[in-house]
Amino acid sequence: MTLVGRPDVVEQIGQTPLVELGSFSTENVKLYAKLEWHNPFGSVKDRAAYWMIKHAERMGTLKKDKSIIIEPSSGNTGIALAGISSALGYKVEIVIPEKVSEETKNILRNLGAIIHETSDDLCPRVGAGTDQSIALAKAISKPRPDIYYMPNQYDNDANFLSHYESTGPEIWEQTDETVTHFVTGCGTGGTITGTGTFLKEKNRDIRVIAIQAQKNHLLQGLRNFEESAIPELFKRRLGVVDEWMTATNKDSFEAVRQLVEKETMLVGPSSGSVMTSMLKMAHDLDHGIVVGIFADDGRKFRSLYLREKILTAQEYDKALKSAKYLPNVAYL
């Protein structure tokens, strides 16, 4: 598909809906989901990708019809960079762990990205000796700095800023300044540090809850911080986190099912991780307005959900047909 000459798509990034999860809220504890798949390329990472590209353009690093953007990604950042770049006139190469879903790889190819696969786990690892995807992206780009630009979402403050300047203010306004808890899964840490820092500047009593994946996980986009070091970007603002929770594959997938059944929503695995963590946390609260990030929808995960027996083919197809809040998108 081609988006060349469609720079207007970037104007659709952000201002995603915040919806109440009515079947999980109680009288005193209200749970809300921020539906990040309403971004034009389907995930929370559109924000970081756009801010990193804008920053590089401002610095004069990117040249139209010459520059190639290369980035290690477990999928969503790659998709966001590929979509935004094709709209703005840059080429993209993505270094991706081979375990990432076929649907994700197909979207990347459809958006014109060249894919390099590594045998990394589901997320590119950070830390000497384990970071195959990051090392390969660096090895390809380093000898040709005149052509290649690697945004490096793990160390690029534009990633943090995207959430400080957009996700945080949106949640503050959408909750009429009443949010009490913010919950999100963590990959680079951009979402939690940017949104969390903004919200705490508005009200320092807001609790910020970080979710990591269990070891050896199937939760695309998330990390386990024992398997993989904490990214530099995250380390610089680790103090914003009040509480850590670990989401298991089992609980996250169970929450994916519950969201199909109770809310007619078809979400990606990391939204399941957020849902199960919000429920555990809400159980101990007397009062609260809890906002969780639902990073992407379930349309990239049919093969995973069937393979892991989360949903049968029939259940998946029914859920897809009836799902609320799924916009038509050009990239699928």
Ligand X SMILES: Cc1ncc(COP(=O)(O)O)c(C=O)c1O
Could you give the residue numbers annotated as active site?
45
Whole-angstrom Cα distance, residue 253 to residue 59?
42
Candidates 38-46, 61-69, 85-93, 125-133 — which segment interacts with ligand X by CB under 6 A?
38-46
- CB of 181 or CB of 300, closer to ligand X: 300
Distances in Å between the Cα of 13 and the Cα atoms of 49, 160, 247, 272 are 10, 16, 28, 23
Residues 6+ apart with CB under 8 A from 30: 20, 288, 289, 290
Nearer to ligand X, 29 or 151 (CB): 151
Interface pattern 169-208 for ligand X (x via CB under 6 A): ----------------xxxxxxx-----------------
Binding mask 208-227 for ligand X (x = CB under 6 A): ------------xxx-----
User: Are 70 and 137 within 8 A, CB to CB?
Assistant: yes
Q: Nearer to ligand X by C-beta: 29 or 158?
A: 158
Which one of residues 14, 40, 268, 298 is an interface residue with ligand X (CB under 6 A)? 268
Closest CB to ligand X among residues 81, 282: 81
14 binds ligand X (CB under 6 A): no
Q: Name the pairing type of β-strands 18-20 and 29-35.
A: antiparallel
Distance CA 307, CA 137 (A): 30
Structure tokens at 71: 């980035």
User: What amino acid is encoded at 144 in this protein?
Assistant: R
Q: How far is the CB of 4 from ligand X (least distance, A)?
A: 25
Does 83 interact with ligand X (rule: CB under 6 A)? no
Q: Which single residue brings its beta carbon nearest to ligand X?
A: 221
The yes or no reply on residue 132 touching ligand X (CB under 6 A) is no
- Find the binder of ligand X among 69, 247, 281, 295 (CB under 6 A): 295
Structure tokens at 9: 């798509």
The residue among 74 and 85 lying less far from ligand X, judged by its C-beta, is 74
If phi over 0 gives left and psi between -120 and 50 gives alpha, with beta otherwise, what is residue 76? alpha
Q: Is 76 in the site for ligand X (CB under 6 A)?
A: yes
Q: How far apart are CA 10 and CA 25, in angstroms?
A: 34
Please name which of 34, 309, 26, 316 lies closest in space to residue 184, comparing C-alpha atoms.
34
For 63, residues 6+ apart whose C-beta sits below 8 A from its C-beta are none
Contact status: 277 vs ligand X (CB under 6 A): no
- Chain residues binding ligand X by CB under 6 A are 43-45, 74, 76-77, 185-191, 220-222, 268, 270, 295-296
